[in-house]
Amino acid sequence: MKYLSNVTTLALDKEKCIGCGMCEIVCPHAVFSVVDGKAFITDRDACMECGACARNCPVEAITLDSGVGCATGLINGMFGGGGACCGEKTCCSK
């Protein structure tokens, strides 16, 4: 299943990348693959902006606006309750 195309804020700085492969390990949607010591974004539209790659990149080569893709949370945020997602009451029924 894929969500909307051309919307993710994911960006990778090839110059900084040291090819450690952490992004490939932590990504739950196989967005990255490491070839010849450099990471590549191979499936950009699969990115859900969870932020795992950026958090675990030791050289800060990955940037993105991470957050939870949750309409209920965003609505609650708009009305000043609990911020975007995973508030005290709603969201994350998982």
**Footprint of other proteins (CB under 8 A):** 1-5, 7-9, 22, 25-30, 46-52, 55-56, 58, 65-75, 84-86, 88-94
What end-to-end distance do the CA atoms of the chain give, in Å? 18
Minimum distance of other proteins from residue 35's CB (angstroms): 15
Residue number, 36 or 88, with CB nearest to other proteins = 88
Cα–Cα distance between 6 and 56 in angstroms, integer? Answer: 24
Radius of gyration of the chain (CA): 15
Return the number of other C-beta atoms located less than 10 Å from residue 3's C-beta: 11
Q: Which of 38/74 has CB closer to other proteins?
A: 74
Beta carbon of residue 22, minimum distance to other proteins (angstroms, whole number): 7
Tokens for 18, please give them. 């040291």
Q: Which is nearer to other proteins, 38 or 90 (CB)?
A: 90
The neighbour count for residue 9, using CB atoms within 10 Å, is 11
* Cβ-based nearer residue to other proteins, 50 or 63: 50
